Amino acid sequence: MAAKKSVQLSGIVVAESAISSIDPDEGVLMYRGYDIADLAEHSTYEETALLLLDGELPSSERLRAFESELAERDLSAATEELIDRSSGEAAPMDMLRTAVSSLSFDDPGRGKTDRDSGLRTATRLIARLPTIVARYHRRRQGLEPVPPDPTLSYAESFLTMLHGERPTERETRAFDVAMILHAEHEMNASTFTARVVAGTGADLTAAVVAAIGALSGPLHGGANEAAMGMFERWGSAERTPDEVRGRRRGSSLTSTSTRRPSIATSAPRPTCSRRCSRPAGSPAGRRTCSSSRPTTGSFGRPPSTSARPRASSRPASTPELAALSHPACGCRGRRPGRAAPP
């Protein structure tokens, strides 16, 4: 009798990737071979996003160019009109999906699938999604939209557009860390969906629109919405610990069935988030969230013989790092103008 075929792709290898990896035994999540705890401590979202896109930590010049591209955050008149007309009735994920689709109308990379066009479209999407979210939020609150400020960092610009006032350095850094921690999600449902659509020859925007549709499902990103509903019902941070303990005893916490590997130790994202959300007066809070703009390229020195490259706890003496490694592919990269490591 033939074995029953899996209908959930459980245990089936669907792709090989050097973009991110999870060590479920040690509770380590890595982007391009770098522990996200180190990225959250020393990097910025802009630098981390470019690491994911390019495959290596950027030079200072490359990072400045990328930040300049991300500063182009204005929406087209068509997208603004779509948001303004529908914000009163549209659900958040429905609005996001539809507004992102409208970004393709004036995208020079529309219909193109080569790597350079994909990178330009990816950068364009990263730059404009915060403007969509902030405009929609303010319109449905009955408030006037706040235009993006190209002189602000990615996180600071978004929070300013959202709340109508400049955030504190701590608020900016906390959101920046949150963006770093959620910049890559390995092979989850929305990533799988995007790969299926891209595999048909559709362009990047089409793949991202499909991924947003998958993300809206209650067994995927919808779990975050359910969690926010719990927080609102609890009403205060003081009630949260007792409520969580009570729900754990009753096994009624929100399900987050994301089909990810079971992590045997502390999950990396919550650990980093807790460190950054501690009161500003705590020593750990000061270490993690002391600045809204950490020194660019503050990853340490050439990696040791350990299995994972770790950022040095000692700041680099110059923005140009001596050497970096990419253990996922076994290569050893280096910054421009530096000799290869021995």
Tens-digit pLDDT profile for residues 24-60: 777 788 999 999 999 999 999 999 999 999 999 999 9
Question: Whose CA is closest to 191, among 216, 211, 206?
Answer: 211
Per-residue pLDDT tens over the stretch 232-241:
888 888 888 8
Whether residue 110 has pLDDT greater than 50: yes
Per-residue pLDDT tens over the stretch 159-214:
999 999 999 999 999 999 999 999 998 888 999 999 999 999 999 999 999 999 99
Residues present in the chain in total = 342
Question: Whose CA is closest to 148, among 80, 89, 197?
Answer: 80
Whether residue 320 has pLDDT greater than 90: no
Cα distances (angstroms) measured from residue 10 to each of 84, 169, 238, 260: 43, 43, 40, 10
Specify the range with the lowest mean pLDDT, choosing from 55-64, 79-88, 296-305. Answer: 296-305
Which pTM value belongs to this model?
0.74
- The conformation of residue 134, written as its DSSP 8-state character, comes to H
pLDDT mean across residues, the chain? 78
DSSP string, 156-215: HHHHHHHHSSPPPHHHHHHHHHHHHHTS--SS-HHHHHHHHHHTTT--HHHHHHHHHHHH
User: Residue 99 and residue 170: Cα distance in Å, rounded?
Assistant: 30
- The conformation of residue 27, written as its DSSP 8-state character, comes to T
Whether residue 303 has pLDDT greater than 60: no
With H, G, I as helix, E, B as strand and everything else as coil, classify residue 110: coil
Q: How confident is the model at residue 91 (pLDDT cuts 50, 70, 90)?
A: very high
Domains detected in the chain: 69-215 (1.10.580.10)
83 vs 251 pLDDT, higher one: 83
- The structure tokens listed for 249 are 């005893």
End-to-end CA distance of the chain: 57
pLDDT at 45: 97
pLDDT at 61: 97
Whether residue 6 has pLDDT greater than 70: no
